[in-house]
A and B are shown apart, each in its own frame.
Chain A
Amino acid sequence: MSHSASTSIVVDGVTKYFTLRYQRTLKQMTVAAVKGREITDTFKAVDDVSFTVEQGESIGLMGLNGSGKSTLLKLVNGIMRPDSGKVLTRGRIAGLIATGAGFHPQLTGRENVFLNAAVLGMTEAETRRKFDEIVEFADIGRFLDTPVGNYSSGMFARLGFAVAVHVDSDIFLADEVLAVGDKPFKKKCLARMQEVRAEGRTLFYVSHAAGSVRKMCDRVIVLEQGRLGFDGDVNEGIKYLKYDPDEDMPPEVDDDEDLGADI
């Protein structure tokens, strides 16, 4: 299969199995085997999913909890490899997986910024150049030189988002980044993500908030128990999920609606 030069992400027939283990010790496993019970079980976290994304597209990835969104993002990010099918990406990828960055709890915020940036492929000089910007964006004050293990979940997420969003990436993955931030920070994040989008970077945005997906994305992909349920227009996707704001909505979504209007 050939792809055009502007293709950013190819997900082709991707399946990822997870193993569930019921029995841990040798004794338990023996007993289970004798009794003819299952020792392990596998399930498909992502089940034969295919789509392609063009550079500069902004995708809202939606679905219920446990539908495989984070796993799919991990496959696109390269943290996991698919068990079958293939994932191809073009250019540098940055982003956040499942609200938190890969920070080392014993390291200070400052050290983690450098480490995290290095993992994302930035050089030392590049990180130094962007360091002030990152710190200013995260706005965690004197906690910068405290081990991140002591951070509140909000501060943790702020710093993680700040690093990821300042990496000069071609693909940006945002997995429920706004779930833990406070309102001013959410607003700042959404504005920054709009900038990311305006720069022509590919954006992958996981959210349950129909409002912000509407503002942020020009295409929605819905996962249902690991399978691709819907791929297409934003409003139809939200309708498909029955996430329409006319129905009972958690207050957070209304919040995002407001924020969206502000931007």
Chain B
Amino acid sequence: MTVPMAETHPVRVVDAPLRPPSPDAGLLEVFRRRYLLRLLVRREVSARYQGSVLGLIWSYINPLSQLFIFWFVMGIIMGRGTENFAIHVFCGLIVVQFFVETFGAGTRSIVRNKALVRKMAMPREMFPVASMLVSLYHMGPQVLILLVICLAMGWTPTLIGMAGFLLAVVIIGILGTALALMFSAANVFFRDVGSLVGILTNFVRFGTPMIYPFTMVEERFGPAAAYYLFNPIADAVLLVQQAFWIGTTDHPTQMQEHHIPDHLFAYSFLALGTSLVMLAIGQFIFRRLENKIPERLT
């Protein structure tokens, strides 16, 4: 039997510091490793319609059918008088859908990727963030449909409107990621969290001026309606309605005055701030729970 001779090994000089092997920078690390993030997002996107015949077409059929339902129920059966009500609803739907999908898929993301989570050292914030980006990608077809309809109705984009739209996307992206971070980690310990997400989602659907115009809230609650605007998702919906819906109506200036609250941008930047604070809290909670995740994922 040969005895291994340690002395004969070549010396490998490793030019790196001694440091803890677990990723430590949280969300920052996620954006440092964009290639890995891209792979995860691409995987999710391609997995969505795996084995379906219509494939990507579903991304168009889905929102169109929802648009039709809202238009029929709210516009025709219940006869809401709001002008171009279908577009009003659709603007809200895009925002709400982006949020709900980020929140829901993000919450499940850690458990669903447990094969990777248990065996590989990687920043686990990666999964909720990837969920958010996938939802953002799915928003594309919906925005496209909205654009086509709006253009057909004689809408022209305005700079302020588009800036508002971008702001809305950023607010929802950050807020969605924040909640996905908190809930995805909690979901590992208590699967009850998944049910909770369903309930919260319902609140979001009806807590935003989607199937009713903001004017109704204002009429009902008067000055107290300002509290309604502390909801970042409501602000985002209004920003998108300002960007698209207003421009499709016959008298945009009057509609803007009547239906869009004053100081919407002020409220929106407040919403952005709130979302950023939530993101910090989300990262903190995730960090606290993360240590116990690999052993609890079975």
Chain A residues, Cβ within 8 Å of B40:
115
CB neighbors of A among B92-136 (8 A) = 113, 115-122
- Separation of A86 and B20 alpha carbons in the complex (Å): 7
- Give the interface segment out of A105-113, A133-141, A177-185, A224-232: A105-113
- Separation of A81 and B115 alpha carbons in the complex (Å): 18
Contact B10 A199 (CB under 8 A): yes
Query: B14 within 8 Å of A by Cβ?
Result: yes
Contact A19 B292 (CB under 8 A): yes
CB distance from B63 to the nearest CB of A (A): 26
Contact A79 B121 (CB under 8 A): yes
**Please, what's the 1-or-0 string for B29-48, where 1 marks a CB less than 8 Å from any CB in chain A?**
00001011001100100010
Query: A67 within 8 Å of B by Cβ?
Result: no
Contact B20 A100 (CB under 8 A): no
Residues A56 and B295 in contact in the complex (CB < 8 Å), given A78-B121, A87-B21: no
**Please, what's the 1-or-0 string for A31-52, where 1 marks a CB less than 8 Å from any CB in chain B?**
0000000000000000000000
Interface residue from B6, B22, B33, B116 paired with A102 (Cβ < 8 Å): B116
Query: B263 within 8 Å of A by Cβ?
Result: no
Chain B residues, Cβ within 8 Å of A86:
20
- Give the interface segment out of A212-220, A236-244, A246-254: A212-220
Contact A218 B120 (CB under 8 A): no
Contact A79 B10 (CB under 8 A): no
Contact B14 A102 (CB under 8 A): no
For B21, give the chain A residue with the smallest CB separation.
A78
**Please, what's the 1-or-0 string for A57-92, where 1 marks a CB less than 8 Å from any CB in chain B?**
110000000000000001011111101001111111
Contact A89 B21 (CB under 8 A): yes
CB distance from B235 to the nearest CB of A (A): 37
Total A-B residue pairs with C-beta atoms closer than 8 Å? 128
For A76, give the chain B residue with the smallest CB separation.
B21
Query: A146 within 8 Å of B by Cβ?
Result: no
Query: B294 within 8 Å of A by Cβ?
Result: yes
Contact B119 A97 (CB under 8 A): yes
Query: A8 within 8 Å of B by Cβ?
Result: yes
Contact B9 A197 (CB under 8 A): yes
Query: A114 within 8 Å of B by Cβ?
Result: yes
Query: A158 within 8 Å of B by Cβ?
Result: no
Contact B20 A115 (CB under 8 A): no
Query: B222 within 8 Å of A by Cβ?
Result: no
Query: A161 within 8 Å of B by Cβ?
Result: no
Contact A78 B16 (CB under 8 A): no
> Can you give 12 A-B contacts (C-beta < 8 A)?
A19-B295, A55-B13, A80-B22, A80-B295, A93-B21, A97-B119, A98-B119, A104-B113, A119-B116, A170-B16, A197-B9, A199-B12
Q: Chain B residues in contact with chain A, CB under 8 A?
A: 1-2, 4, 6, 9-14, 16-23, 33, 35-36, 39-40, 43, 47, 50, 113, 115-122, 291-292, 294-296
Nearest 3 pairs of A and B residues by beta carbon: A200-B12, A78-B21, A102-B119
